[in-house]
Amino acid sequence: MKRILIYNAKIVNEGRMEPASLLIENDTIARITAPDDPMTDDCDERIDATGCYLLPGVIDEHVHFREPGMTHKADIRSESRAAAAGGVTSIMDMPNNNPPTVTLGALEQKMEMLAKECIVNHSCYFGATNNNYADFARLDPKRVCGVKLFMGSSTGNMLVDRRNSLQHIFHGTDLLIAAHCEDSRLIQANAAKYRERYKDAQDVPVVKHPNIRSAEACYRSSHLAVQLAKESGAHLHLLHLSTARELALLTAGAPDTKHITAEACVAHLLYSAADYKTEGTRIKCNPAIKRKCDRDALRHAVCTGLIDTIATDHAPHLLQEKAGGATTAASGMPMVQYSLVSMLELVDKGVFDLPTVVEKMCHAPARLYHISKRGYLRQGYRADLVLVHKGEPWTVTTDDIFSKCGWSPLEGHSFAWRVLRTWVNGHTVYNGQEVDETYRGEPLLFER
């Protein structure tokens, strides 16, 4: 039996921050004790965590690892490597690959790829189409994290735009329905208007991206999704909210007490439309980053319980694919490696407190998805942990980036927080400098 003792840490867990020691036995948290308990058991490794914070590993419910079909820009191994370096110990991969994960056969192939290549724990979504809702009854609720529904334009031609298909989807599963909500018709009309306005330019300027993928386009689609969820009783999880107006569709409360829940993504909590002038298409994503007042409303909603989880929508592209403007540059950015330190920086700025970051990135995803024995520092739970420290500033450079695409919108940014170590199932997958690429995470299990 392998035993690892982490002592003199400040543990952040279930709303509390307190000094404690934690003992790992093999893949499990064996004990958590007060600092005056010497815990003198024989250990294979003792880690003095003085001045450091020990958190549950981050559960990122929203990533695009691009495999199969788009491995020129990312793959499961490269992006799970970036996740491990960022303190992310579990991920849920989206289905808009090539081929998309919209058949039972494609789902099994994706599960096999994840088991073979993913360094962290993993699951994936089954993608909804206009015609595959009959397959929902054959999905294993203990293995599949949810059904992904694109109620807006998407990579992989997975748009579901028929009202009768939407009704079948919402009435057809007890699994969580994770919805990307943007009204495609309004987006197309907006795009046509701006192309005409800038017909003499090479492309519409990226600063107009939030005018094309507008707040109204988001609200119309989110409102429809909420209406369908109320009619059916389905568990709807609204992904990457980007507007203040959509918050009126939500209620505050614990995520496992509601059947309509919501996610905010790191990019929408960090950036506002003013940042297009300096960051350009590097921060172009769908839904678009919008006004500062929208960003500030999202931040407030995280603190008040209207928004339940924080994820990344990690979506790598090569830099040359980000060239162009509002209608030609690829949408999406790599964020999984720097999501935790970015949120910890917002703690320093007084936007959140540290227990709120842990709640939204670790505890809430575990409760909302009913993940078995993860997301908390509890005796008997899997030892998915991250050790972080605030110290001398360091600056993001291309040399630090583990994602295959090789860039980040945070290049040149200096952080005081640093991930020192990440454990997945009690195994050190990141030691502060290197990722153990020989390790493979486990499939997530869901207690539904």
Q: With 70 as the cut, is the pLDDT of residue 154 above it? A: no
The pLDDT tens digits of the residues spanning 213-233 come to: 999 999 999 999 999 999 999
Tell me if 194 sits within 8 A of 212, measured CB to CB: yes
Q: Give the DSSP per-residue string, 166-225.
A: HHHHHHS-SS-EEEEE--HHHHHHHHHHHHHHTTTSSS--GGGHHHHS-HHHHHHHHHHH
The pLDDT tens digits of the residues spanning 261-309 come to: 999 999 999 999 999 999 999 999 999 999 999 999 999 999 999 999 9
What is the arithmetic mean of pLDDT over 250-256?
94
Instruction: Look at residue 100 in the predicted model and tell me its pLDDT.
Output: 96
Query: What φ, ψ does residue 151 adopt, rounded to 5°?
Result: -95, 45
Instruction: Look at residue 65 in the predicted model and tell me its pLDDT.
Output: 98
Instruction: Look at residue 211 in the predicted model and tell me its pLDDT.
Output: 98
What is the arithmetic mean of pLDDT over 324-335?
97
Tell me if 364 sits within 8 A of 255, measured CB to CB: yes
**pLDDT band at residue 161 using 50, 70 and 90 as cut-offs:** confident
Tell me if 151 sits within 8 A of 225, measured CB to CB: yes
Q: With 80 as the cut, is the pLDDT of residue 35 above it? A: no
Nearest 5°: the CA angle 325, 329, 330 is 155
The average confidence (pLDDT) of the chain is 96
Question: Which DSSP symbol is given to 283?
Answer: G
CA–CA distance, 231 with 174 (Å, rounded to integer): 14
Helix (H, G, I), strand (E, B) or coil at 124: strand
Task: Establish whether domains 3-55+381-404+414-430 and 57-368 are of one fold.
Answer: no
Q: Which of 116, 117, 119 is nearest to 86 (CA)?
A: 119
Q: Which of 289, 277, 139, 136 is nearest to 211 (CA)?
A: 289
User: Which residues in 307-340 are b (16+ Cβ under 10 Å) and which e?
Assistant: bbbbbbbbbbbeeebbebbbeebbbbbbbbbbbb
Taking the CA of residue 402 as centre, how many other CA atoms within 13 Å lie in the half-sphere pointing to its CB?
26
Query: In the chain, what are the domain boundaries?
Result: 3-55+381-404+414-430, 57-368
Q: What tokens appear for 433 in the block?
A: 């400098």
Sheet of 88-93: strand order equals 58-63, 88-93, 121-124
End-to-end CA distance of the chain: 31
Q: What tokens appear for 272 in the block?
A: 């506002």
Residues 6+ apart with CB under 8 A from 53: 9, 10, 11, 12, 17, 354, 387, 388, 389
The pLDDT tens digits of the residues spanning 341-371 come to: 999 999 999 999 999 999 999 999 999 999 9
Query: What φ, ψ does residue 315 adopt, rounded to 5°?
Result: -145, 85
CA–CA distance, 339 with 89 (Å, rounded to integer): 13
Residues 6+ apart with CB under 8 A from 78: 402, 403, 404
Residues 6+ apart with CB under 8 A from 235: 174, 175, 176, 177, 229, 259, 260, 261
Q: What tokens appear for 112 in the block?
A: 């096999």
Q: With 70 as the cut, is the pLDDT of residue 72 above it? A: yes
Domain at 3-55+381-404+414-430, CATH homologous superfamily: Urease, subunit C, domain 1 (2.30.40.10)
What is the architecture of the domain spanning 57-368? Alpha-Beta Barrel (3.20)
249 to 102, 182, 238, 254, 417: CA distances (angstroms): 29, 15, 10, 16, 35
The pLDDT tens digits of the residues spanning 379-430 come to: 999 999 999 999 999 999 999 999 999 999 999 999 999 999 999 999 999 9
